[in-house]
């Protein structure tokens, strides 16, 4: 058995549980390169629960910690941490891991503000350690296929992308902290996936004009088990109602460096019919995405009136090839559809993130989602917030250097990031 890189799971809530399933999938593959040595959480109930689940799923019980420094002291060959704590703590936890010599994969959003991202990037550089952002949507094979279709000119020159997500009403979405500005509003928590997909499809953005809203002043506990059902053990303990102070809707127009335009709605206060759509229009046709992690086929619409949503779509994407592990987990290197339950799909994609981290540590290479990539996603996500405050478009440069920070400054002040 090839040597495996020992890592710790830091953060044992809902996403920590989902990551564990990803690790189980990697353990079951032919390419496992990581080994779960420890779990760490301030909440020891959560840590012990995850350790028990790990014993069932992986065959051995990781050690349980509440303190990163102690964990690194006691497990001398620990090399990495997988950070799945809540968003407001990402920068603190990730920096603590890096300063203790660990390489880190951190869940999205990379940090709660752009300054938080920059601080982590600088720490990783100083410490000579890898930092990777666990952005999963782009790793969905269907998103890989769509990106190849765009690269290979299937629709000519991309001109316009419309990314729409409307729904949510006045429910507490997954957890209460997702509705508070300081811990990352839902428009950041969920929105950042879409920011990443916009950049993944169309390349870097140049400027953004937009606005945000806080529509729902009160949200209600529906005791939802959350995505994949992993939150049922916590949701009945949430308050009946909360009063959010984090914006629940953003509306933006994006100018990409290529000249293409993006129209982006991320509205988690939508009542009535929920709407999710993603279409790219080019000079010769359009591509309709089926969304993420559902395995449904993408649809290619061409000027001659043809609509291609079966295996023939591969003819338009000669450069499309999944990595060997993705091909093993999803059943082929040029798949155009797949059929797994949500949790089964989720764990396959998370296994890919883990594997990449292990390879980067072993080979000294950089991950696809570097800290800089994660920061650019957070910058795009905050663009409509900052643009709304300034009443004018904001540029990538202003956002990444935190010159456009009127909205984020209050969070940075509270978190000691200024």
Q: Please report whether residue 345 would count as binding ligand NAD according to CB under 6 A.
A: no
Residue choice 7, 8, 9, 13 for contact with ligand NAD (CB under 6 A): 13
Give the contacts of 416 (CB within 8 A, at least 6 positions apart): none
CB of 266 to ligand NAD, least distance (A): 14
CB of 254 to ligand NAD, least distance (A): 22
| Structure-block tokens of residue 367 | 């991950």
Binding ligand NAD (rule: CB under 6 A), the pick from 33, 84, 187, 408 is 84
- For the chain, the first-to-last Cα distance in angstroms comes to 47
CA atoms 15, 18, 23, 26: torsion sign: negative
- 302 touches ligand NAD by CB under 6 A: no
Letters for 188-217 (x = contact with ligand NAD by CB under 6 A, - = none) are: -x----------------------------
Q: Closer to ligand NAD at the Cβ: 41 or 247?
A: 41
Kindly tell me which residue out of 26, 36, 46, 375 binds ligand NAD, with binding defined by CB under 6 A.
46
Q: DSSP letters along 132-144, please?
A: EEE--GGGSHHHH
Number of residues located near ligand NAD, criterion CB under 6 A: 24
Residues numbered 16 to 35 that lie near ligand NAD (CB under 6 A) are 16
In 84-149 the beta strands, taken as DSSP E runs, fall at 103-107, 131-134
Smallest gap from Cβ 169 to ligand NAD, in A, equals: 19
Which position among 35, 41, 82, 267 is part of the footprint of ligand NAD (CB under 6 A)?
41
Nearer to ligand NAD, 40 or 104 (CB): 40
The residue assigned the tokens 């100018």 is: 255
Among 306, 305, 315, 275, smallest CA distance to 291 is for: 275
Check if the beta carbon of residue 379 is closer than 8 Å to that of residue 47: no
Asked if 33 and 7 touch (Cβ cutoff 8 Å), the reply is no
Q: Quickly tell me which residue has 């990697």 as its tokens.
A: 26
Closest CA to 191 of 269, 258, 295: 269
Return the bridge partners of 250, or none.
212, 266
| Stretch near ligand NAD under the rule CB under 6 A, chosen from 5-13, 114-122, 274-282, 401-409 | 5-13
11 vs 393, beta carbon nearer ligand NAD: 11
Minimum Å distance from CB 64 to ligand NAD? 12
For helices 14-27 and 342-363, angle between their N-to-C axes, nearest 10 degrees: 70
Q: How far apart are CA 242 and CA 220, in angstroms?
A: 7
Residue 250 makes contact with ligand NAD by CB under 6 A = no
Work out whether 11 is an interface residue with ligand NAD (CB under 6 A): yes
Among 28, 43, 217, 229, binds ligand NAD (CB under 6 A): 43
Binding mask 139-178 for ligand NAD (x = CB under 6 A): -----------------------------------xx---
286 touching ligand NAD, by CB under 6 A: no
Cis peptide before 109 (omega within 30 of 0): yes
b or e along 328-355 (b: 16 or more beta carbons within 10 Å of the residue's beta carbon)? Answer: bbbeeebbbbbebeeebbbbbbbbbbbb
| H or E segment to which residue 207 belongs | strand 205-213
Q: Which stretch binds ligand NAD (CB under 6 A): 12-20, 235-243, 305-313, 376-384?
A: 12-20
Query: 238: how many CB neighbours lie within 10 A of its CB?
Result: 18
Nearer Cβ to ligand NAD (156/167): 167
247 binds ligand NAD (CB under 6 A): no
- Of 9, 15, 265, 326, the one binding ligand NAD (CB under 6 A) is 15
Residues that bind ligand NAD (CB under 6 A): 10-16, 40-43, 46, 84-87, 89, 93, 107-108, 136, 174-175, 189
């Amino acid at each position: 058995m090839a040597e495996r890189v020992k890592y710790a799971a830091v953060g044992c809530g809902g996403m920590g549980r989902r990551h564990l399933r990803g690790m189980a999938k990697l353990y079951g593959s032919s390419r496992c390169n990581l080994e779960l040595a420890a779990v760490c959480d301030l909440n020891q109930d959560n840590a012990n629960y995850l350790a028990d689940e790990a014993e069932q799923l992986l065959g051995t019980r990781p050690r349980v910690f509440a303190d990163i420094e102690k964990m690194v002291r006691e497990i001398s060959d620990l090399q990495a941490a997988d950070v799945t704590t809540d968003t407001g703590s990402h920068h603190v936890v990730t920096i603590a891991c890096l300063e203790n010599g660990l390489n880190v994969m951190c869940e999205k959003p990379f940090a709660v503000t752009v300054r938080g991202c920059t601080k982590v990037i600088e720490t990783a550089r100083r410490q000579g350690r890898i930092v990777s952002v666990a952005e999963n949507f782009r790793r969905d094979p269907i998103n890989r296929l769509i990106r190849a279709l765009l690269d290979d000119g299937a629709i000519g020159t991309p001109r316009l992308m419309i990314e729409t997500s409307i729904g949510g009403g006045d429910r507490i979405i997954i957890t209460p902290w997702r509705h508070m500005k300081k811990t990352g509003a839902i428009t950041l928590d969920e929105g950042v996936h879409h920011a990443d997909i916009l950049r993944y499809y169309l390349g870097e953005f140049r400027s953004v004009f937009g606005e945000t809203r806080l529509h729902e002043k009160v949200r209600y506990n529906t005791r939802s088990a959350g995505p994949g059902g992993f939150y049922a053990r916590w949701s009945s303990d949430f308050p009946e109602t909360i009063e959010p102070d984090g914006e629940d809707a953003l509306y933006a127009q994006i100018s990409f460096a290529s000249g293409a335009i993006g129209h982006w709605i991320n509205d988690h206060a939508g009542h009535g019919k929920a709407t999710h759509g993603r279409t790219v229009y080019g000079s010769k046709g359009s591509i309709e995405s089926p969304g993420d992690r559902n395995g449904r086929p993408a649809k290619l619409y061409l000027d001659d009136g043809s609509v291609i949503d079966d295996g023939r779509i591969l003819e338009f994407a000669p450069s499309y090839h999944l990595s060997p592990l993705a091909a093993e987990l999803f059943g082929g290197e040029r798949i155009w559809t797949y059929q797994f339950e949500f949790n089964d799909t989720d764990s396959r994609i998370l296994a890919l993130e883990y594997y990449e981290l292990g390879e980067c540590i072993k080979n000294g290479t950089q991950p696809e989602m570097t800290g800089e990539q994660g920061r650019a996603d957070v910058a795009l996500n905050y663009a409509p917030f900052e643009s709304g405050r300034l009443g004018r478009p904001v540029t990538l440069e202003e956002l990444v250097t935190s010159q456009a920070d009127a909205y984020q400054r209050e969070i940075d002040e509270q978190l000691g990031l200024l």
